[in-house]
Amino acid sequence: MSGIIGYGSYVPNHRITVEEIARVWGEDPESIKSGLNIKEKSVPSSDEDAATIAAEAARKAVYHSGIDAKEIGAIYVGSESHPYAVKPTATIVSEAISAGHNLTASDLEFACKAGTAGMQMLMGMTDSNMIKYGMTIGADTSQGRPGDALEYTASAGGAAFIIGKEKKEQIAELITTVSYTSDTPDFWRREGAGFPSHGGRFTGEPGYFRHITKATELLFEKTGMKANDFDYAVFHQPNGKFPILVAKKLGFEMKQIEHGLITPVIGNTYSGASLIGLAATLDHAKPGEKILVTSFGSGAGSDSFAIEVREAIEEKRKRSEKVHEMISKNKVYIDYSNYLKSRGSIKKK
């Protein structure tokens, strides 16, 4: 069975607080902080984009895995903020990690879940011996329209996972996966539009909650496992509140999700969110422990995974940079005008 050989994540150093955004729009920061369960969010520098974030995460994943990047046979990058409309981010990443040219690569898009869709593709490709290793990345530099509620959460970050079949090399086995998908108009961005739109009443219950619940229940059914059979759970986290609510609804307790709940301090990294949550959980997990991951992408769909941690995680741990350490190190707070400048909203003539 295929499994995770290595992983890496990257979150930009800049942060903007809820207070600072609320100050500009004359809103009450305390009610936003408690309503969304978010304190601050990451902001990319003007020289960072989904490709640079993906490349940084990918380099860490290669180092953590201990493999030669030239043995990677497929690279998939899931994002809704690919820097080019036509020209794959995956090719930039492959060159940045010196993966060579004997590989297949593609960019994926499914709102916030394209990175886990890539993981499913690689499970099939490695299990069938089509490739030895594959890399999937979820990375985004999401934007919220100034003044929109999404502005408090839309942030930047990403994580990369290397998938392979060799048991001895696996830090965790991907036991199985299942998905739930439907045509739901909860969130979209048309080609060329600078900012996404959201379908108000479609965003919560019919979007996020329905898809995550259905996919997770399908996984329970397929594996015969229940919430308390897992040591940890990671859900997509568009804010700090939704994952707690959906976890409760599915029978999980706070202690199962707290290690992977990162959005309250970095914001919603979109395609990066559930994968960074998984990375933070793996940072902490021990051999034999089980992790459930359910992503969500608007439009809409959820991919659910049952994962079991293996022995190799201990030996590879010395080469990993822990998510919680990375996101608290070198943090720089910026004000709203520098935030707009780094997002390209104000330019010099």
Partner 1 sequence: MERSSASLWRKINSRYNMVGNECTNCGKTYFPPRLICKDCGRKSKMQSKKFNGAGEVYSYSKIHVPTEAFKDSAPYTVGIIKLDEGPLVEGHIIDDGKGVNIGMRVKSAFRRMDVDGEEGLIYYHFKFVPE
Annotated catalytic residues are: 80, 112, 236
Q: Is 219 in the site for partner 1 (CB under 8 A)?
A: no
Tokens standing for residue 105: 């690569």
Q: Is 65 in the site for partner 1 (CB under 8 A)?
A: no
Distance CA 256, CA 228 (A): 9
Rounded to a whole number of angstroms, the minimum distance from the CB of residue 47 to partner 1 is 4
Rounded to a whole number of angstroms, the minimum distance from the CB of residue 152 to partner 1 is 23
Between residues 239 and 342, which has the closer beta carbon with respect to partner 1? 342
Tokens standing for residue 218: 């399908």
Interface with partner 1 (CB under 8 A), residue from 28, 84, 201, 317 = 84
For strand 3-10 and strand 156-164, is the pairing parallel, antiparallel, or unpaired? antiparallel
Task: Name the segment binding partner 1 (CB under 8 A); options: 71-79, 92-100, 150-158, 285-293.
Answer: 92-100
What phi, psi does 229 have (nearest 5°)? -80, -10
Task: Name the segment binding partner 1 (CB under 8 A); options: 23-31, 88-96, 168-176, 310-318.
Answer: 88-96
Interface with partner 1 (CB under 8 A), residue from 28, 34, 68, 98 = 98
Rounded to a whole number of angstroms, the minimum distance from the CB of residue 240 to partner 1 is 26
Q: Is 13 in the site for partner 1 (CB under 8 A)?
A: yes
Tokens standing for residue 24: 């500009």
Interface with partner 1 (CB under 8 A), residue from 66, 70, 96, 222 = 96
Rounded to a whole number of angstroms, the minimum distance from the CB of residue 56 to partner 1 is 6
Full DSSP string of 278-310: HHHHHHH--TT-EEEEE--BTTTEEEEEEEEE-
Distance CA 59, CA 159 (A): 10
For strand 172-181 and strand 3-10, is the pairing parallel, antiparallel, or unpaired? antiparallel
User: Which residue is listed with tokens 């939704």?
Assistant: 242
Contact 243, 294 (CB under 8 A): no
Q: Is 48 in the site for partner 1 (CB under 8 A)?
A: yes
- With a CB cutoff of 8 Å and minimum separation 6, the contacts of 1 are 127, 165, 173, 174, 175
Between residues 1 and 332, which has the closer beta carbon with respect to partner 1? 332
Distance CA 160, CA 104 (A): 16
Residues forming contacts to partner 1 in the complex (CB under 8 A) are 13-14, 45-49, 51-52, 55-56, 59, 83-84, 92, 95-96, 98, 330, 332, 341, 344, 347-348
